[in-house]
Structure 1
Amino acid sequence: MKDQRFKIAHREALIGIGLVIVNFAIWFGFAYGLGSGDPANYTYVFGFPAWFFYSCIAGTGFMIILIWVVLKLFFKEVPFDDEEVDQ
């Protein structure tokens, strides 16, 4: 029987890749969506251009919260012992 830890690790790796894709989509969408216009027409949030604020500052805060939620809901503690653990 295959060690369950590998199945868990594989699932958690796929979740991690998904989180990276979400982070890139948020960053790219705001940075190039709001930042592609003429700089003279930029709007500002707390003194930062809106594209920078939403892609780098708010996006980072959102990702920190999203990762915390995903860790609490989908990741589990896995022992590193050599013994097979039934899960």
Structure 2
Amino acid sequence: MTKKETTDWRYKVANREALIGLALALANFIWWFGFAYGMGSRPVEEYKYIMGLPDWFFISCVLGFLLITAAVIIVVKLFFVEVPFEDEEEMQ
């Protein structure tokens, strides 16, 4: 048997889901960094406030958290699959 034939199919699924998780984490960081340092670098006198919080903080931390949470839920429901932990020989 070659190495390809003995490779478990679950590794492909796990690698794909790990890459999706990394992409979501990277997207969250870019969102946070962009709004926190982009809008937060203005003088304090120019800040606008949303619900008592500076707009840069609200958008980067509060809204970003809600959006990434929704994105994770949607991605898990649509793209992640259940994988059995038992070996195929044990299942039979």
Q: TM-score, normalised by structure 2?
A: 0.88
For 1:19-40, what per-residue CA distance to the aligned partner results, in whole angstroms no more than 9, with x for missing partners?
0100000000110111000011
Rg comparison, structure with higher value: 2
Give TM-score scaled by structure 1 length. Answer: 0.93
Structure number with higher relative contact order (C-alpha < 8 Å, ≥ 6 residues apart) = 1
Q: Which residue of 2 aligns with 1:60?
A: 65
Report runs of 4+ in structure 1 exceeding 3 Å deviation.
Answer: none
What does 1:6-45 correspond to in 2, within 5 Å? 6-45=11-50
Tell me the matched-pair count: 84
Q: Deviations over 1:34-83 (max 9, x none)?
A: 10000111000010000000000000000000000000111000000011
Residue 81 (structure 1) aligned with residue 86 (structure 2): yes
CA-atom RMSD in angstroms: 0.9
Mark the runs of 5 or more structure 1 residues left unpaired by the alignment.
none
| Larger helix proportion of the pair | 2
